[in-house]
A and B are shown apart, each in its own frame.
Chain A
Amino acid sequence: MSDTIELAVTRYRPEQDTQPWEQRYTVPCSDDMSVLDALNYIKDALDPSLSHRWSCRMAICGSCGVMVNGEPKLSCKTFLRDYREAGVLEVRALDNLPVERDLVADISGVVEHIEAVKPWLIRHSEAPVDTAHSQTPAQMARYHAFSQCINCALCYAACPQFGRNPAFLGPAALTLAQRYNLDSRDEGSSERMPWLNAEEGVWSCTFVGYCSEVCPKDVDPASAINRGKVASDINYGVNLFRLLRGKGDA
């Protein structure tokens, strides 16, 4: 097919602009073209000054997130054919994040939140390298979905609580905390619980649930966070008990 479709791209060039503005481009539209293909077409054939991020083109690197007609999407996993009826696609940088330039959102705050919860296996003592920490399939299934996150930050663009308060650790960071707390090989939950329990932790979530709808990897961060609330409640009770017995936090 040789039809075309219009892209209304929100542009922001820090050198010239004081605020974002809209520029329209007409691009070819075929069944196999993604929004990322359209952006690359603009960059290659129409306007080399347009900035956008991408790398893998297959929903793995997590770098191509943009808002498409108001919804957070991976541009490589979103196809023009699904917008033929709408006729025009509004593309802008991810919501709730500072815009560095054009479609490039600055996700460094999100990355800091993710780092804060120590998303790695923590052991009290390292076992000798020749023995593996074995795990049954049932034990792996408990955290498997939560480990599929590609740090694309679509869930942050979807979260009105993060939009209100960027200090909120947010969906992906709290999900990763749960992912490691639920891992039978991990012994580090006492280092992550203060983050879950904090004002910026799970209790800032009001279960809007849109993060889980937009997640391109079916991670279900809303479920992870709200299960984190149950974990935080239990942790509170355990800590109260330990306090009475003169012990430190669990």
Chain B
Amino acid sequence: MRKPWQPQQPRSWWLRNPAYRRYMLREATALPLLLYTLLLLAGIVQFSRGEAAFATWLSWLQTPAGLLLQGIALAAALLHAVTWVALVPKILVIDSDRLRIDPRHVLRAHQLGALAGNLGLVGATLWLLWPAGGA
């Protein structure tokens, strides 16, 4: 008579293997980004409450806790972006009878796109703030 043993996946499955731990780290980058989003939302709420409230929020950003949160969020965003872009050539394969693009070019295009987007954002912010900053 058959009596197979049915294994149960332990809750700690992701601790058992470095590959799983790397995966969980990538997924966990969502958490600091959630906190950062809440921080920005709080900023908008404080802004609607008047200048004093907004100034308090701005000064909180420069406390050690504020800087730590922003630092972790930046590191998480970078880690997520780098690991995700590295996976792109495995997902986006353009190869048909009519059109074939070298996977390395697909990867380069994504890296350049990310770089251009971020530089553009920083540039646009500086450009918008310039007159106010100079005044």
A interface vs B, CB < 8 Å? 12, 14-15, 19-20, 70-71, 95-100, 106, 138-139, 142, 158, 160, 163-164, 184, 206-210, 213, 220, 222-223, 226-227, 229-230
Contact = CB atoms under 8 A, between A and B. Distances in A.
A105 B27 CA distance: 30
Nearest to B16: A70
A138 B100 CA distance: 10
A169 to B, nearest CB: 18
Contacts, number: 67
Given A139-B97, A163-B13, A208-B23, A95 B7 contact: yes
B90 A220 contact: yes
Interface residues of B, number: 24
A230 B100 CA distance: 16
Contact of B9 (A138, A139, A163, A223): A163
Contact of A99 (B4, B14, B23, B90): B4
Contacts of B17: 70-71, 210
B3 interface: yes
B6 A227 contact: no
B19 interface: yes
B65 interface: no
Interface in B108-132: none
A15 B82 CA distance: 52
A100 to B, nearest CB: 5
A80 to B, nearest CB: 21
Nearest to B8: A163
Of listed B3, B20, B27, B100, residue having the most chain A CB within 10 A:
B3
A220 B23 CA distance: 17
B93 interface: yes
5 contacts: A98-B7, A100-B4, A210-B19, A210-B23, A223-B91
Given A14-B2, A70-B17, A98-B4, A230 B92 contact: yes
Nearest to B3: A14
B87 interface: yes
Contacts of B93: 223, 227
